[in-house]
Amino acid sequence: MAKTIPLTATEVKQAKPTFRDGKLIMRKLSDGEGLQLRVQPNGKKSWFLDFINPYTKKRTSLGFGPYPAISLADARKLRMEARELLAKGVNPKDERDTARRLLSDEHDHTLIKVATQWFKMKENHITVGYGKDIWGSLTRHIFPKLGGYPITQLTAPRVIEVIRPLEENGKLDTIKRICQRINEIMTYAVNAGLITNNPLIGIGKVFSPVQTSNNPALEAHQLPELMSAISIANVRLTTRCLIEWQLHTMTRPNEAASAKWVDIDFENKLWIIPAAVMKTNVVHKVPLTYQMINLLTLLKPENGHREFLFPSSHKPKCHANASTVNMALKRMGFSGRQTAHGFRRLARTTLAEEGFNFEALEACLSHKVGTSVSQAYNHATYMNQRIKIMAWWSKHVEQAAMGNHSLAGRGC
């Protein structure tokens, strides 16, 4: 068999399609070892490699690309790389298709796209408010600089560089939450088979630790001091009612601030908080005491025409910010001593000292008790006991106000 004479650059440049039977047809020029230049009837030229598939043992071809974008020298280099794979029993076409798929996946699996997939799964198990907090923090601090990056290109130094300015501004709580959330996203990516490992698993340890205060709360005997400060505080009526409402109901800041009139069952004296609002994602029913109803009566003329009990002063169609009570407490001089969430701790401690049933107290706070298995079998709400507990607590708060400091203690 005659040896193929390699092509020259001039031959490749001047190659024309074949003219046969009165029409132009494709022409193939061989450079040897399976490399061909194919010239189409319209004059376009492309490089191909003919080879035997090592798996099927059938003849096939692999396209290298068009000429002159791929020069003769480029085509020969690609031929050499392909034949090295063939010598190892690897199909070069499969290898190229895999590389292209990985490149395509890399651009499809950017941080913001993967985060969106993760969040769609997560938001089914969290409250709407918490979901907004999660996505908002990522949108503000991570996505602007890293959202377009393929997750395969996210490295610890790159992410730390983006987060570091938050540390300089003293936002250590924000850093802690962001590190947790971005690690959840990367763990999701690992479990989904998008990456093989999570390179960000330890990034939270390079930042200053958060000094936790465990939601400071006053001692039980200091409740009169708090009630006196609330009574003379320079705040709006709605804000003062919100402070007392949260104190009496023992609810979390967001649950209290987002309370709706439609969820108040006056007939059965219940505040029925939807599962979507609750941290536990379970409907929570709060027995309404005489003092709580007094607050509602006081609020009705002011906000009864609104959707929320405590509308925002700037956006009346929205509810008050969950941090409203915290900000008011700071202005009253309770910074570092009492937080809005700490109201729950204050109530829980006081009630425990009175000897109330543990499970009933936990139910008042919408806490889950026991293991996941025991929770699945325990559907008790302890409502009768909770009615007594809430009544005792409201009366205790009213007495701490000495009869003239509490809005809730006033008659209708």
Q: Dihedrals φ, ψ of 169, to 5°?
A: -95, 5
Quickly count helices (H) and strands (E) in the chain. 17, 9
Kindly name the residue from 341, 345, 348, 405 that is annotated as catalytic.
341
279 as an active site residue: the answer is: yes
Is the distance from CB of 277 to CB of 288 less than 8 angstroms? no
Instruction: Work out whether strand 35-39 and strand 264-265 pair parallel, antiparallel, or are unpaired.
Output: unpaired
Count CA within 13 A, CB hemisphere, residue 193: 1
Separation of alpha carbons 104 and 184, rounded Å? 24
What residues are paired with 204 via a beta bridge? none
270: helix, strand or coil: strand
Separation of alpha carbons 284 and 5, rounded Å? 85
Kindly name the residue from 93, 279, 388, 395 that is annotated as catalytic.
279
As a residue count, the chain comes to 412
Cβ within 8 Å of residue 321, ≥6 positions away: 257, 312
344 as an active site residue: the answer is: yes
Count CA within 13 A, CB hemisphere, residue 293: 14
252 as an active site residue: the answer is: yes
Kindly name the residue from 344, 345, 348, 386 that is annotated as catalytic.
344
Q: Which amino acid is at 124?
A: N
Kindly name the residue from 132, 140, 331, 367 that is annotated as catalytic.
367
- Return the closest-CA partner of residue 318 out of 308, 305, 326: 308
Separation of alpha carbons 291 and 294, rounded Å? 5
What residues are paired with 49 via a beta bridge? 35, 62
317 as an active site residue: the answer is: no
Query: Which residues participate in catalysis according to the annotation?
Result: 252, 279, 341, 344, 367, 377
